[in-house]
A = this chain, B = another copy of it.
């Protein structure tokens, strides 16, 4: 009996050459999903035996799944000590915004002339959903999908792959911290203007808007992280990662 396949967008890059539901693939997808949407918070140690029991398999497929997740940067494995979920975006990882400021405008520039009405409608649909969505997880996902919809026709698979990597990292961060940051409306206006520029095919305006949007997002996160590390107004209590061992 084929189990319900877990829809992962990484399937976009691996053209579903794995029709069989191998345990290791099921576990890998499930763990990635769980890590990405925060059900498994950062710093959580992953015990092979525990996961194996959870899925009703032996430790073997778990081990192979963990190895792959490590290569994808979601886990950190130390010999004889095990795997822990990697931390979210921190000050060091802010470098990614510098990279995105290079990659995404170029992707948009390449994609703009080839965007179809369907593509624009897809992006618009995400925006509409963004307005009504309440939970951070959905908001973060829609944000990524909106951006990718605009870049989709860039015609450079490698470029799109790298951008998606960065966007997934941001998504994971936003799922955790978006509500505490409270900059959703800011980004919404940016998105509206960006989509409008894309619709009219105004390249220079669209690129300028995207660059500004990314810069502001970087600044927002940078300030948020700085406040986390050194809270000046401890009114809104920062949910310090308690990390209670289960």
- Which A residues lie at the B interface, using CB under 8 A? 15, 17-18, 20, 22, 63-64, 67-68, 70-72, 78-80, 92-93, 95-96, 98-99, 102-103, 106, 156-159, 162, 246
Contact = CB atoms under 8 A, between A and B. Distances in A.
26 contacts: A17-B78, A18-B78, A20-B79, A20-B80, A22-B79, A63-B64, A64-B64, A67-B67, A67-B71, A68-B70, A68-B71, A71-B72, A95-B156, A95-B158, A96-B158, A98-B106, A98-B156, A98-B158, A99-B103, A99-B156, A99-B159, A99-B162, A102-B102, A102-B103, A102-B106, A102-B159
A15, A71, A157: most-surrounded residue (chain B CB, <10 A): A71
A246 B63 CA distance: 31
Contacts of A92: 157
Contact of A64 (B15, B20, B67, B103): B67
A140 to B, nearest CB: 20
Contacts of A103: 99, 102
B79 A18 contact: yes
Contacts of A64: 63-64, 67
- In the A-B complex, the 4 residue pairs with the smallest Cβ-Cβ separation, listed nearest first, are A71-B71, A95-B158, A67-B67, A95-B156
Contacts of A95: 156-159
A72 B96 CA distance: 19
Contacts of A99: 103, 156, 158-159, 162
Nearest to A17: B78
A157 B98 CA distance: 10
A70 B246 CA distance: 30
A78 B15 CA distance: 12
Nearest to A163: B99
A72 B67 CA distance: 11
Contacts of A80: 20
Nearest to A76: B17
A71 B66 CA distance: 11
Given A67-B67, A95-B157, A98-B159, 14 more contacts: A15-B246, A18-B78, A18-B79, A20-B80, A22-B79, A64-B67, A68-B70, A98-B156, A98-B158, A99-B103, A99-B156, A99-B158, A102-B106, A102-B159
